[in-house]
Amino acid sequence: MTKTLHGVIAAIATAVDDKGEPDCARSTALARFLLDTGCDGLNVLGTTGEATSFSLDQRRRVMSAYAAAGLPLGRMMVGTGAAALADAVALTKHAAELGFAGALVLPPFYYKGVHDDGLVAYIDGILAATAARPIPIYLYHFPAQSGLHWRVGLIRRLLDTFGERIVGLKDSSGDMAYAREAASILPRFKVFPSTEAALPEARSGPFAGCISATANLNADLCARAYRSGDTAALGEAVAIRKLFDGKPLVPGVKALLAHIHSDSHWARVEPPLSAFPAADRAAVIAGYDAVRAKRVA
């Protein structure tokens, strides 16, 4: 089994070209930049990566581009969840064949109120299809988007049923009590909240790290906070995240990436998302530049 991931993990954005296709050259360049400037790993094709807005072929092409670019796939998990089990199987098999460190699996998100037995069957189908290449599975808990919960009792059942194939959880619920309870199930079960604010607990407490959208923007600060306990850096990283409170996060992250990298192409998003409003863009850029100026001063 591949070693489990840890530390500061950016939920990396996916660049989009003027035809609505994934821009793999820009995406892999950002991946290298983030790994070079503080990230311990990356979450490719998650929510911030707009995975569910891309076709199976597009998602496979992005995965393959990461491999072709010579990026260290052993430091990356990739989103392979889908509403259809066959699609999730196809994506997870591709991730395993390429050598990604893990597959991040949303519950099948169209039908709501489904029985736990159906979710267990969904995971069983993915694991059975990848038994020859047993890629580790991370559960993706984002009920505000998926409408379904990886409940703690269900996680226990999955761990009891499938053993070490289930290695961890990304929790984007914002419910820290839930995240702590999930992390207490087994020492080997690695939980990653979706906020940089959890990094102190990753240093000395229950969490394995964080998987954050805003680590696209503050990876260096997150790294200082995680590796040396730099409280000033943590405060700055959290301040950058708070710039997006009440604003659409994915378009906002991409708008700020366009500013940081002086590349307007980064501001493009895939439908159904829409461009970050100009007024919000100006406010976020001003706030970000103020945080960075304070550190330079």
Cα torsion 261, 246, 209, 174 to 10°: value is -160
Largest CA distance in the chain: 57
267 CB-near residues (< 8 Å, 6+ apart):
251, 254, 255, 257, 258, 275, 276
Domain 7-228 has CATH 3.20.20.70: yes
The predicted structure's pLDDT at residue 170: 98
- The band of 1, judged by pLDDT with boundaries at 50, 70 and 90, is very low
> What is the pTM (predicted TM-score) of this model?
0.95
Contact 44, 12 (CB under 8 A): yes
| pLDDT tens by residue, 214-248 | 999 999 999 999 999 999 999 999 999 999 999 99
Q: Which residue has the higher pLDDT, 18 or 296?
A: 18
| pLDDT tens by residue, 17-57 | 999 999 999 999 999 999 999 999 999 999 999 999 999 99
Mean pLDDT, residues 260-283 taken together? 98
**185 is written with which tokens?**
């199930």
| pLDDT tens by residue, 71-115 | 999 999 999 999 999 999 999 999 999 999 999 999 999 999 999
Q: What string of DSSP letters covers 196-240?
A: GGGHHHHHHSS-SEEEETTHHHHHHHHHHHHHH--HHHHHHHHHH
Average pLDDT, the chain: 96
